[in-house]
Amino acid sequence: MKHTISVLAAAAVLGSAQSAMAQTEVEFWHAFTGRLGELVAEQVETFNSSQSDYTIVATHKGNYSETLNAGIAAFRAGEQPDILMVFEVGTATMMGAKGAIKPVYEVMGSGFDQSKYIGSVKGYYTSPDGDMLSLPFNSSTPVLWVNRDKLQEAGIDPDTDLSTWEQVGTVLDQLKEAGVDCPMTTAWQSWIHLENFSAYHDVPFATQSNGFDGTDTELAFNSAAQVAHIGAMGEWAKDGKFIYAGRRNEGGANFRAGECALFTESSAGYAGINAEAEFDFEVRPLPYWTAVASEPQNTIIGGASLWVMEGQSDEEYAGVAAFMDFLSSAEIQAKWHQDTGYLPITSEAGDLTRSQGFYEANPGTDIAVIQMTAKEPTSNSKGLRLGSFDQIRGIIDEELEAVWSGDKDAQTAMDSAVERGNALLRRFEQASR
Amino acid sequence: MEKRVTFKGIWLPLLLVLPQILITAIFFFYPAGQAIWQSLFIPDPFGLSMQWVGLGNFEYLFSDRYYRASFVTTAVFSILVTVVSMGVALYLAILADRLIKGSGTYRTLLIWPYAVAPAVAGVLWLFMFNTRVGVVTWYLGHLGYDWNHVLNEGEAMGLVVVASAWGRISYNFLFFLAGLQAIPKSVIEAAAIDGAHFWTRFRTIVWPLLSPTTFFLLVVNIIYAFFETFGVIHTITSGGPQQATTILVYKVYSDGFVGQDLGSSAAQSVVLLFIVSILTVVQFKYIERRVHY
């Protein structure tokens, strides 16, 4: 009798130990609120209820910068999460932190098929050997948004060709003449008009393949092509054809309110514009200068990727791998792509979206995908890998503002931005030695 | 005649000041020491490695013309905030002091803005002066003035000064009013009987008797402008345009938390430490001499 009780007790202890082991908690820190936050919560919920081994605990940690800082502070205190969302400009910082991160291809193990991910999306986050260091989560690319009603009012054919900046320039003249207050505005000026501009025209933004080949990289966006573009934009700003609204996506409010005819903004602006715009709008590919390139190269991405932090248990890493596998599945990716306007990270998800008839029902939503994937990326269009890049963007913003206000000419401003940015790159190089 | 209480031994007085020393050591000397120590290194953001650079961080800072310009920006900003907030507060306090009916309501209303946090104050002013949808911008536009603090350095500075000084007026007002009410009425009445006008009375009686309050507010306001205006600047201009509103404290934040450059950030904290020490010494040594208690 006594014997039976002890066996039962042992069984009970084992049983409870097993149920505790059954649910490995995986911590996931992200930067999404609002509609995107809900969609992330939905993904996590779907994953958690689809299996019983792991529980993903998703926590919002503020905006992109705050999330990165929270991750860094937590790592220093030994309390880091399993998965940390880091925006694309933090990529070099994370890559430099060997010993703090565990590359995704290692976490995913030997059966990991990296070829299913779209090259120009994953390229931003791969090692020089082509191995994925983090998992792209939300990626978008800049496109040209057109208010067709505004063009029509100004007596311009709304179907007019806007694929080159030369053509855009002519249309801006016509819009101004017709008395339009805001012919064009932009969001994310550095990302669109310098970083993507360089990739799209296949000119270097920085040396050492935009920083991919080493931290001894130097900024190179003060060359003729970029200066000509910024100079033209500066002229447009002076003539009131380009209206500057702010460093982030402040211009979006003006476009959605129907004030502006043309708007260069991320493809992920789709959800907001679609919800608010009370006019006929259209997505066009980002324009290029025929004077610089006979045809455009690909654009690069913006957004964030998921990094796996070092120092966790094997069970947790298994949970991370299962979750990342789930995120990469065609159904989940296709849904995410269609809900948010972010690019699909696998070609399967793109194909599935097409076969579901989404692109036909929502014309223009595939422009971003085509623009990203039409050409194989070159060393100038794979992405950027520069340290302290959040701050360098701040410097670029300041110098661009000086051009828009007429304080500096394009060459002086770009030279100054390069010089100031290089000082930060040298600091980063020294810190990551 | 020595009237001070003196202790015979050393242990009892030491024991009595021990709590104070402990608190100062833990919350001031230790972090300050850490900042000085860290300013001699370039660490990587994750704290995985540190490189000894000696005074390299300081050399780097002072070779940066934007850092040097930040000193001027900070001086201009602090002086403007202090002068505007104290000047307006004094004017309102003098009016409130002469008020007989309804002074309670008047005072309560004036104290309200003090309850508004700097970041919220920043957002409120930003809404009014937003370059595209702001109410004030819209009226200015009708008057033919194109307000754009996003690109115009002077306007940006003006806006952060006004937003920072606004909440501070309440606080200064309270102290000035208390100071004014502590001045014996008989002195002022005597002067009035002697034929002194309001301005003469203010200059020869009120202002000297108010000087302890003014001195206290001067110290407190400069420290406020140096450190606590961060929220206002962060929400309105983020230090722009072209670093025109980047005060020293904002640069510590942006280099440390945006640029992850902790070495430079620590060095800047040390520089700030020195500036504040010097300011405090100057204030107590030279300005306080002219204060009549």
- Check residue A45 and report its DSSP letter: H
A84 and A135 within one domain: yes
Report yes or no on A11 lying in a domain.
no
Mean pLDDT score across all residues of chain A: 91
Distance from CA of B44 to the nearest CA of A (A): 5
A338 and A273 within one domain: no
Whole-angstrom distance, CA of residue A314 vs CA of residue A157: 61
Place of tokens 């100054």: A416
If pLDDT is split at 50, 70 and 90, which confidence band does A3 have?
low
Query: What pLDDT does residue B219 have?
Result: 86
A307 and A295 within one domain: no
Whole-angstrom distance, CA of residue A384 vs CA of residue A124: 7
User: Is B189 within 8 Å of chain A by CB?
Assistant: no
A415 and A312 within one domain: no
Tally of domains in chain A: 2
A424 and A289 within one domain: yes
A418 and A270 within one domain: yes
B residues 29-48 lying closer than 8 A (beta carbon) to A:
42-48
| Cα nearest neighbour of A65 on chain B | B258
| Cα nearest neighbour of A309 on chain B | B46
A317-330 pLDDT, tens digit per residue, is 999 999 999 999 99
What's the mean pLDDT in A20-36?
84
pTM of the model: 0.83
If pLDDT is split at 50, 70 and 90, which confidence band does A384 have?
very high
- Domain assignment of residue A336, given as a range: 22-140+301-373
User: Is A430 within 8 Å of chain B by CB?
Assistant: yes
CB contact under 8 A, A420 and B66: yes
What's the mean pLDDT in A379-394?
91
User: Considering only A78-87, A172-181, B229-238, which range has the smallest mean pLDDT?
Assistant: B229-238
pLDDT at B1 over 70: no
Chain B positions touching A72 (Cβ under 8 A) are 45-46, 260
B102-160 pLDDT, tens digit per residue, is 878 888 888 888 888 888 888 999 999 988 788 999 999 999 998 888 888 999 999 99
Mean pLDDT score across all residues of chain B: 89
Contact between B139 and B193 under an 8 Å Cβ cutoff? The reply is no
Distance from CA of B130 to the nearest CA of A (A): 10
A80 and A38 within one domain: yes
What's the mean pLDDT in B180-184?
91
- Contact residues for A40 (Cβ-Cβ < 8 A; gap 6+): A30, A32, A58
A140-158 pLDDT, tens digit per residue, is 999 999 999 999 999 999 9
Joined together, the tokens standing for residue B54 give 């000696």
A242 and A259 within one domain: yes
Query: What pLDDT does residue A403 have?
Result: 95
Query: What pLDDT does residue B285 have?
Result: 81
Edge to edge, the sheet with strand A242-243 lists A242-243, A182-186, A260-266, A142-147, A281-284
A245 and A351 within one domain: no
Strands A24-30 and A83-87, bridge-based pairing: parallel
pLDDT at A2 over 70: no
Joined together, the tokens standing for residue A373 give 């994937």
Whole-angstrom distance, CA of residue A122 vs CA of residue B63: 39
Query: What pLDDT does residue A17 have?
Result: 44
DSSP bridge pairs for B51: B42
Chain A positions touching B132 (Cβ under 8 A) are 245, 250, 253-254
CB contact under 8 A, B44 and A250: no
Candidates 3.40.50.300, 2.70.170.10, 1.10.3720.10, 3.90.1150.10; CATH matching B60-290: 1.10.3720.10
Q: Which of B51, B133, B238 sits opposite A430 (nearest CB)?
A: B51
Across the A:B interface, residue pairs with CB atoms under 8 Å apart total 88
User: Is B65 within 8 Å of chain A by CB?
Assistant: no
Query: What pLDDT does residue A1 have?
Result: 44
Distance from CA of B150 to the nearest CA of A (A): 7
Query: What pLDDT does residue A257 have?
Result: 92
Contact between A255 and A145 under an 8 Å Cβ cutoff? The reply is yes
Whole-angstrom distance, CA of residue B287 vs CA of residue B293: 13
Report yes or no on A81 lying in a domain.
yes
CB contact under 8 A, B258 and A394: yes
Structure ipTM: 0.76
Query: What pLDDT does residue A97 have?
Result: 87
CB contact under 8 A, B258 and A390: yes
Report yes or no on A400 lying in a domain.
yes
Distance from CA of A330 to the nearest CA of B (A): 35
pLDDT at A291 over 50: yes
Q: Closest Cα to residue B87, out of B198, B217, B178?
A: B217
CB contact under 8 A, A100 and B242: no
Max Cα distance, chain A (Å): 99
User: Is B259 within 8 Å of chain A by CB?
Assistant: yes
- Check residue B137 and report its DSSP letter: H
What's the mean pLDDT in A34-63?
93
pLDDT at B241 over 90: no
Max Cα distance, chain B (Å): 77
Query: What pLDDT does residue A22 have?
Result: 61
User: What count of residues does chain B have?
Assistant: 293
For chain B, domain boundaries = 60-290
Joined together, the tokens standing for residue A393 give 């963007």
In angstroms, the Cα distances linking B128 to B124, B137, B140 are: 7, 7, 11
Q: Closest Cα to residue A120, out of A193, A190, A196, A64?
A: A196
